[in-house]
Amino acid sequence: MNDEQDIITLYDENGDEELFEVLFTFHNDDYNRDYIIVYPAGADPDEGTVDMYPFIFNAPKEDDGTEGTFDEIEDDAEFAMVEAALNQYLDEMDAKD
C-alpha cells in the first residue's frame, strides 16, 4: 500500500464525523458502477483484522460542486461481487509481501 492514503470523512446517522482511509476503488462493467472500499482511519490492515466498508461511489457531476456520494450496496449478488473483488485485492497484496 502507499504511504500516502486518501482520507475521507463520512457522517453517521447522528451526523457525527468519522474519518476513513480508502483501501481501493474499482469499476465493474456488469453493474456499470464504481465502488470504493474504506476502513477506519488509523487502522492498519496489515496488522490484523480491520473492518472494511464497501460502497457504491457516485462521481461528482462537473458543475454541482460536490465531491461525490456513496450509496450502500443492497443487492446480495452485487455485494458478493464486491466481496470477491476485495478478496482478490487482498490476495494480490499478500502475494506482493
pLDDT at 2: 40
Of the chain, the percentage scoring pLDDT greater than 90 comes to 62
User: Domain ranges in the chain?
Assistant: 7-96
Q: If you ran DSSP here, which 8-state letter would residue 76 be given?
A: H
Residues 41 and 7 sit within 8 Å (Cβ to Cβ): yes
pLDDT tens-digit readout, 10-62: 988 899 999 999 999 999 999 999 999 999 999 987 777 899 999 999 988 77
Q: What is the dihedral of CA 26, 79, 5, 27, to 10 degrees?
A: 10
pTM for the full model? 0.83
Inform me whether the pLDDT recorded for 63 exceeds 70.
no
Task: Name residue 26's beta-bridge partners.
Answer: 35
CA distance 79 to 43: 23
| Grid cell at residue 37 | 472500499
